[in-house]
């Protein structure tokens, strides 16, 4: 293929890119008139300052991440065959990990498909093309997903902050097959979740928390459980499946709580499950005021610090969550605190959480540190792919 060239500035060190770092920022590139005029999603050969090729990149002059490394072979052909090869590699890992086809099939850069997220729900896949190159090739990508997985339905989810940063639209819909008319049941950790694949958050379910659900559920036999920022009942339903006496799910979204209640009904545990809708901070304070106490409390909020400018405010929010949640835990009980913020590393999150527990005048022991499941692999050169942290304390 006769690709145009895109060059690093002379003083930019190319070694991180040669070692596998997958992003190139516009500030590191020679962005002349020709480079600025590239069509978002087009391909180019990335060269170092001496014009030696580094690899094939997808270009988007509208994004801060102006180039994404697709292939170290500068002559690679990115087509349906190329996509199938990448997807087959991703699928081979998941088949070793799970005995049922419910998992994250593609985790963006860590699976060699920069900016692309694909979650699988049995015979249905949901694709989030969060980079311009994937949007350009969305039809070929959908066909490749069907070829590799045999799924009869492939949906496109265009929601989320990442697409807006790429200058992409927010139009979702069916790429292959028909859009489901209702929630889809998802079996996980012996629980049944209902995922709204059309109007729900992200792709409809958070597969990343699977191992953390399982660990906390192991502490919940006979327990009274509080699951705050519950979404569709993530921790609560896993706890009930593991023998919890009762579980209360708190979330700001009424539709999410309706799905959680539907999951509890599908499991036959609706008599042990309750929901409360409202602001999580206000709910935590109200439960304490009412003298409510639980054996296990979980707080799994949305990203308080999705990017570095929000870091300080995000850490204060995580500390506040810990301070408000800790008093609700009975003596000898457990508190699980989670963060999915890309800008907050484990050390900072742990420090904020411990400070919050201390401000609640509770002594604690950190008994477990959890991360995303293995279907969310971490790119060794990209720390942001290891975004999820879960801390479990005994108070």
Q: What is the pLDDT of residues 131-143, one digit of tens each?
A: 999 999 999 999 9
Full-model pTM: 0.94
Q: Where in the chain is the domain with CATH 2.30.130.10?
A: 5-71
pLDDT of residue 198: 83
* Dihedral angle over CA of 343, 345, 348, 350, nearest 10: 130
**Cα 11 to Cα 6: distance, rounded to the nearest angstrom:** 15
Residue 307 makes CB contacts below 8 A (sequence gap 6+) with 342, 343
pLDDT of residue 146: 98
Residues 112 and 86: beta-carbon distance below 8 Å: yes
The pLDDT mean for the chain works out to 96
For residue 345, count other CB atoms closer than 10 A to its CB: 17
Name which of 104, 96, 101 is nearest 126 in CA terms.
104
- CATH fold of the domain at 5-71: 2.30.130
Residue 215 makes CB contacts below 8 A (sequence gap 6+) with 368, 370, 390, 392
Question: What's the whole-number mean pLDDT along residues 145-173?
Answer: 93
Helix (H, G, I), strand (E, B), or coil: what is residue 117?
A: strand
pLDDT of residue 297: 98
Q: Where in the chain is the domain with CATH 3.40.50.150?
A: 190-394
Catalytic status, residue 340: yes
Question: What's the whole-number mean pLDDT along residues 91-118?
Answer: 97
Query: Is the pLDDT confidence value at 202 over 80?
Result: no
pLDDT of residue 206: 93
The pairing of beta strand 116-121 with beta strand 102-107: antiparallel
Q: What is the pLDDT of residues 207-240, one digit of tens each?
A: 999 999 999 999 999 999 999 999 999 999 999 9
What architecture is the 190-394 domain classified under in CATH? 3-Layer(aba) Sandwich (3.40)
Helix (H, G, I), strand (E, B), or coil: what is residue 288?
A: helix
Confidence of residue 385 (pLDDT cuts 50, 70, 90): confident
Name which of 14, 4, 13 is nearest 36 in CA terms.
4
Q: What is the CATH number of domain 80-176?
A: 3.30.750.80
pLDDT of residue 87: 98
Q: Catalytic one among 125, 220, 336, 340?
A: 340
pLDDT of residue 313: 96
**Cα 165 to Cα 75: distance, rounded to the nearest angstrom:** 28
Confidence of residue 199 (pLDDT cuts 50, 70, 90): confident
pLDDT of residue 161: 84
Between residues 159 and 56, which one has the greater pLDDT? 56
Query: Is the pLDDT confidence value at 200 over 80?
Result: no
Query: Is the pLDDT confidence value at 201 over 80?
Result: no
């Amino acid at each position: 293929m006769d690709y145009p060239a895109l060059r690093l500035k002379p003083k930019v060190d190319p070694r991180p890119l040669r070692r596998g770092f997958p992003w190139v920022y516009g500030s590191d590139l020679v962005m002349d008139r020709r480079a600025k005029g590239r069509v978002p999603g087009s391909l180019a050969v990335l060269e170092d300052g001496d014009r030696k090729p580094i690899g094939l990149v997808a270009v988007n002059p509208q994004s801060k991440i102006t180039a994404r490394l697709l292939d170290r072979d500068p002559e690679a052909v990115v087509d349906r065959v190329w996509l199938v090869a990448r997807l087959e590699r991703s699928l081979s890992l998941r088949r070793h990990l799970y005995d049922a086809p419910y998992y994250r099939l593609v985790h963006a850069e860590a699976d060699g498909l920069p900016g692309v997220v694909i979650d699988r729900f049995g015979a249905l896949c949901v694709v989030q093309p969060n980079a311009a190159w994937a949007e350009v090739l969305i039809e070929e990508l959908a066909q490749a997903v069907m070829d590799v997985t045999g799924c009869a339905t492939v949906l496109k989810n265009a929601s989320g902050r990442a697409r807006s940063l790429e200058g992409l639209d927010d139009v979702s819909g069916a790429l292959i097959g028909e859009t489901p008319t209702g929630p889809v049941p998802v079996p996980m950790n012996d629980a049944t979740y209902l995922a709204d694949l059309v109007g729900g958050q992200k792709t409809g379910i958070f597969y990343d928390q699977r191992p953390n659900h399982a660990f906390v559920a192991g502490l919940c036999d006979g327990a009274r459980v509080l699951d705050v920022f519950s979404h569709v009942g993530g921790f609560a339903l896993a706890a009930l499946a593991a023998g919890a006496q009762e579980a209360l799910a708190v979330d700001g979204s009424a539709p999410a709580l309706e799905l959680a209640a539907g999951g509890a009904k599908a499991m036959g545990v609706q008599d042990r499950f309750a929901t409360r809708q409202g602001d999580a901070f206000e709910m935590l304070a109200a439960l304490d005021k009412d003298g409510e106490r639980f054996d296990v409390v979980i707080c799994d909020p949305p990203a308080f610090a999705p990017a570095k400018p929000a870091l300080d405010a995000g850490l204060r929010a995580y500390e506040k969550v810990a301070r408000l949640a800790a008093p609700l835990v009975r003596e000898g009980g457990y508190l699980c605190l989670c963060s999915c913020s890309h800008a907050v590393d484990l050390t900072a999150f742990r420090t904020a959480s411990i400070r919050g527990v201390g401000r609640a005048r509770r002594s604690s022991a950190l008994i477990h540190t959890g991360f995303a499941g293995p279907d969310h692999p971490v790119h060794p050169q990209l720390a942001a792919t290891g975004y999820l942290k879960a801390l479990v304390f005994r108070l």
